[in-house]
Amino acid sequence: MWGNDRPSMGRGWDKTRRKVLRNSSTCYVCGQPGADEVDHIIPRFRGGSDSIENLRPVHVNCHARKSAAEGHARRAELRKLQSRPSDRHPGRAL
């Protein structure tokens, strides 16, 4: 899905990814063996790091579902921040 050598993941990502998958191949989302990707527990957009402590093995499909849900939640947060207040300005004449 993402590939193993994305430049945005920083130096050493491939090595870190292999280490996480070597430690366990059980998907932390569904609990089944055969995980083939690595996911950030705390997403990078929330300040999560690429440290081993913040990474878990995950299946491609589980990763896609989790990432989509996180993306939808983040977009909802951003929309809420951009929405205009419903109250009229107190200084505005009727």
**Where are the chain's structural domains?**
9-82
pLDDT tier, 5 (very low <50, low <70, confident <90, very high otherwise): very low
pLDDT at 62: 95
Q: Is the pTM of this model over 0.75?
A: no
Identity at 24, one-letter amino acid code: S
CA 1 to each of CA 15, 43, 60, 88, 90: distance values in angstroms, whole numbers, following the listed order: 18, 17, 7, 47, 52
Both tokens of 92, joined, read: 């505005």
pLDDT digits (tens, 9 = 90+) for 11-24: 788 999 999 999 99
